[in-house]
Amino acid sequence: MGKIRVAKLGDVETEKELKRRATARRDTKKSKKSKVEHVGLKGGERVAVVEGTEIKPEYKKLVEEVEAGKEVKDKGKKKEKKVAVHARSKRYREAAKLVDRTKLYPVSDAIGLVKKTSLTKFDGTVELHVNLNPLTLGDKKDMRGTVSLPHGTGKQVRVAIADDTILADIEAGKISFDILVAHPSMMAKLAKVARILGPKGLMPNPKTGTVTEDTKKRALELSAGKVNFKTEPDQPIIHMTVGKVSFEDKKLAENINVVLETVGRGKISKATLASTMGPGVKLALS
């Protein structure tokens, strides 16, 4: 007479556990009658074949590979991820050879190199990248301001003055401006569409001079080339558009020098000039 097993009625989990243990005991008894075949695997592992049963096809294939001396792949090992390295085009590499990365170029020479190394078939944008010395900022973590470029950026800037019609267009999803100027009295109404304008960077703000009593004057200034600038979040770096490759050298030089003077040459640790997709050219600040 075998052992008496007691199980609680209705306790499904307990019944499953008892069945699992009973199956394990039967398998253990059968394994004692088994014979060991084939070559041992790594780490002392063996493939045991129970008498009266056939080995599974996948195990049989594994044994054959081991006997043939083939390397057994570790399925548990993760594959190493390959990091894609961005390769510059041949045209870029040839253009970059024209620029001495250890040299600081006067503004006039830098403009000539930027035009020479411009790679685009269209009229590329000339960008000025300014790195500020954090020590010159004092307690402030950022810097922002406004500068009037004598010759504009080369891009037509659409400036609108906020009114009820503009507000209705915004609510309808129609935005036909690049800059929105507003009178302080309109800010309460614009608060309703802040969730639309905010993510696009179009919400009027006193810090950028787009909230003002004289909206018409401010709109004319912005249309004529007055642009705002500010440092990147948590980084003392300013990126600005200062013109187009097609601009005359003199006009580009005047735009660049105005920006450098407005930011303050003493606050700048490094300034780089570049065209769209072109190599950077370091500027001499003195």
Rounded Cα gap, residues 97 and 91, in angstroms: 10
Q: In Å, how far are 24, 225, 285 from 242, measured between CA atoms?
A: 79, 10, 16
Rounded Cα gap, residues 145 and 50, in angstroms: 83
Task: Look up the CATH number of domain 88-151+227-286.
Answer: 3.30.190.20
Rounded Cα gap, residues 232 and 176, in angstroms: 26
Q: What pLDDT score does 91 carry?
A: 86
Contacts of 212 by beta carbon, 8 Å cutoff, 6+ apart? 181, 183, 184, 218
Q: What is the DSSP letter of 90?
A: H
**The dihedral formed by the CA atoms of 36, 40, 46 and 48, expressed in degrees to the nearest 10:** -30
Q: What pLDDT score does 27 carry?
A: 67
User: Is beta strand 281-282 parallel, antiparallel or unpaired with respect to 268-275?
Assistant: antiparallel
CATH number of 158-224: 3.90.550.10, 3.90.380.10, 3.40.50.1010, 3.40.50.790?
Answer: 3.40.50.790
- 10-residue mean pLDDT profile of the chain (286 residues): values are 54 73 69 49 51 57 61 56 71 89 94 93 93 85 86 86 92 90 92 90 87 90 81 89 94 95 93 93 90
Asked if 88-151+227-286 and 158-224 have one fold, the answer is no
Please, are residues 278 and 94 in contact by the beta-carbon 8 Å criterion? no
Domain range list for the chain: 12-67, 88-151+227-286, 158-224
Per-residue pLDDT of 81-97, as tens digits, reads 666 666 778 888 888 89
